[in-house]
Structure 1
Amino acid sequence: MSSVAVINLRLGQTCMVFCLFLAISHAVAAADDPSPKEWLERMMDAVQKLNYQGTFVYLHDNQLESMKIAHAVQGDRVRESLMSLNGTPREVIRDEESVTCVLPDSNEISVDRRTPSSKFLNILPQDLDQLDKHYSFQNMGKTRIANREAQVVLIVPNDRLRYGYRFALDTDSGLPLKSDLLNEQGELVEQTMFTELQIGVAEISELHNRESLFTYRLKSHPDETNKIPLLNPSKWKFIGLPSGFRLSLQHQLTDIQGSDPIDQYVFSDGLSSLSVFVEPETREEAFSGVSRLGAINAWGGQVDGYQVTAVGEVPAVTILGIVQGMQLKQADD
Structure 2
Amino acid sequence: MIKVVLAALVTCIALTALPAGAQVAPTGQQAATQETAAQETENSDGQRWFNLMSKALNELNFEASFVHVQGDRIEPYRWVHGIDKQGRQYEWLMQMNGPGFRALRIDNVVSHFHPASTSYSLRSRSISTMIPTAFNQSFEQISDNYRAVAVGGARILDRKAQHIRLISKDNQRYGFSLWLDRDNGMPLKMLMVNHDGEVLEQLQLTSLTLRDVAADTIAELSRVDRPPMLEELQSQQSPLLKQQPRWAPAGFNLLKAQHHRLVLEGTPVDHYLFSDGLAEYSVYISDQTVSSSGKAISVTGPHTLHSQPAGQLMVTVVGQIPLAVAKQVASSVQ
Pairwise same-fold verdict (TM > 0.5): yes
1:84-139 alpha-carbon deviations (Å, 9 max, x no partner): 44x42625141243535375xxxx8x762222223555334846346445432210
Alignment CA distance shift 1:99-1:282 (3 Å): farther
Q: Hey, what's the Cα distance between the residues in 1 that align with 2:315 and 2:279?
A: 20
Contact 1:282 1:302 in 2 (8 A): no
Tell me the equivalent position of 1:311.
318
Alpha-carbon offset, residue 186 of structure 1:
1.4
Q: Hey, what's the Cα distance between the residues in 1 that align with 2:102 and 2:202?
A: 20
Alpha-carbon offset, residue 177 of structure 1:
0.7
Match of 2:195 among 167, 184, 199: 184
Alpha-carbon offset, residue 192 of structure 1:
0.6
Q: Hey, what's the Cα distance between the residues in 1 that align with 2:330 and 2:260?
A: 22
Alpha-carbon offset, residue 277 of structure 1:
1.4
Paired-residue identity, %: 24
Tell me the equivalent position of 2:45.
35
Alignment CA distance shift 1:320-1:152 (3 Å): same
Aligned AA (2:48): E
Match of 2:254 among 248, 259, 264: 248
SS in 1 for 2:255: strand
Q: Hey, what's the Cα distance between the residues in 2 that align with 1:116 and 1:208?
A: 17
Alpha-carbon offset, residue 279 of structure 1:
2.5
Aligned AA (1:113): Y
Do structure 1's residue 117 and structure 2's residue 124 form an aligned pair?
yes
1:29-75 alpha-carbon deviations (Å, 9 max, x no partner): x9799611111112112212221112212111222222222223324
Aligned AA (1:277): Y
Match of 1:46 among 31, 48, 56: 56
Q: Hey, what's the Cα distance between the residues in 1 that align with 2:255 and 2:110?
A: 22
The 5 Å alignment of 1:68-83 reads: 68-74=78-84, 75-83=86-94
Do structure 1's residue 154 and structure 2's residue 160 form an aligned pair?
no
Contact 1:125 1:270 in 2 (8 A): no
1:244-275 alpha-carbon deviations (Å, 9 max, x no partner): 25552342144699x67532223344543321
Alpha-carbon offset, residue 281 of structure 1:
4.8
Q: How many residues align?
A: 286
SS in 2 for 1:326: coil
Match of 1:226 among 234, 240, 245: 234
SS in 1 for 2:327: helix
Match of 2:332 among 312, 325, 328: 325
SS in 1 for 2:91: strand
RMSD: 4.0
TM-score w.r.t. the length of structure 2 is 0.70
Do structure 1's residue 88 and structure 2's residue 88 form an aligned pair?
no
Q: Hey, what's the Cα distance between the residues in 2 that align with 1:33 and 1:277?
A: 37
Contact 1:273 1:312 in 2 (8 A): yes
Contact 2:94 2:101 in 1 (8 A): yes
Match of 1:276 among 264, 270, 283: 283
Q: Hey, what's the Cα distance between the residues in 2 that align with 1:219 and 1:256?
A: 24
Q: Which runs of 5+ in 2 are unaligned?
A: 1-19, 23-39
Higher strand share: 1
Q: Hey, what's the Cα distance between the residues in 2 that align with 1:243 and 1:221?
A: 33
Alignment CA distance shift 1:222-1:33 (3 Å): closer
Q: Hey, what's the Cα distance between the residues in 1 that align with 2:114 and 2:260?
A: 26
Alignment CA distance shift 1:33-1:202 (3 Å): farther
